[in-house]
Chains A and B, each alone.
Chain A
C-alpha cells in the first residue's frame, strides 16, 4: 500500500496567514493527489484534485502543487472558514489512501 504522510500534524495560524501543508507519498503517485477539508461533524469537502486543480466552488486562495512523491497545499490568506482538518489522498493505485490529517487551528 502507498503510505501518505502529512506535515505538520497540527498547525496554529491566524486569519490572514499564509499556510502550507505538505504531503509525502511512499512511492510515485503521478500527480493523482487530492486535498480535502473537514470541519467537525461534517463530511469532507474536495478542495484540489489531480495535484493542482480547484474543486467546484473552491476559492482561488487554495493552491496545490507537487509531483512524484512530494505535494503541497497552500492557502494564501487564511479565512475564518478555513479552520479544520485537511487530508491528502492518493488515487493512483488501490487501495486509495489518505494522509493522517493536518489540524489547522487558531
Chain B
C-alpha cells in the first residue's frame, strides 16, 4: 500500500524558511515522479512543484520560483521542499503526491502558516 508521510510544517515569520519532507513507502520510489500541491485555507488546490524520476526535470509554479527548491533522495525514499523567503500568501496545507496516472496518491498534508 502506498504511504506518503509529510513532516516539517509549522508557524514561521514572513521572510523565514521551512523545509518540508515526505517519506514514501509501498512502491518503488525511484521510478516515480513526485509533486507538491498546496491548498490555502478555504481555497482550492494549487500545484507547486514537480520532480521527475532521476531529478532530470524540475518544475515550479511562477509564484515560488527562486524561493522554493524541490529535491529527492532515492536512497531514503524521500522528497523535500525547501521554502525560503516565505510570504503570507504561502500559508497553506502542503501535500506531497505521487505522479503515476496523473497525481495518483496524496499524503495527508502539513499546514504551513506564515505570520508575524
Contact = CB atoms under 8 A, between A and B. Distances in A.
Interface of A: 34, 36, 38, 43-46, 49-50, 53, 55-56, 87, 89, 91, 94-101
A55 B50 contact: no
Contacts of A46: 101-105
Nearest to A91: B102
A17 B113 CA distance: 39
B85 interface: no
A44 B109 CA distance: 10
Contacts of B61: 95
Interface stretch (B13-21, B41-49, B74-82): B41-49
A35 to B, nearest CB: 9
A89 B37 CA distance: 12
Residue of B47, B60, B107, B109 contacting most chain A CB atoms (<10 Å): B47
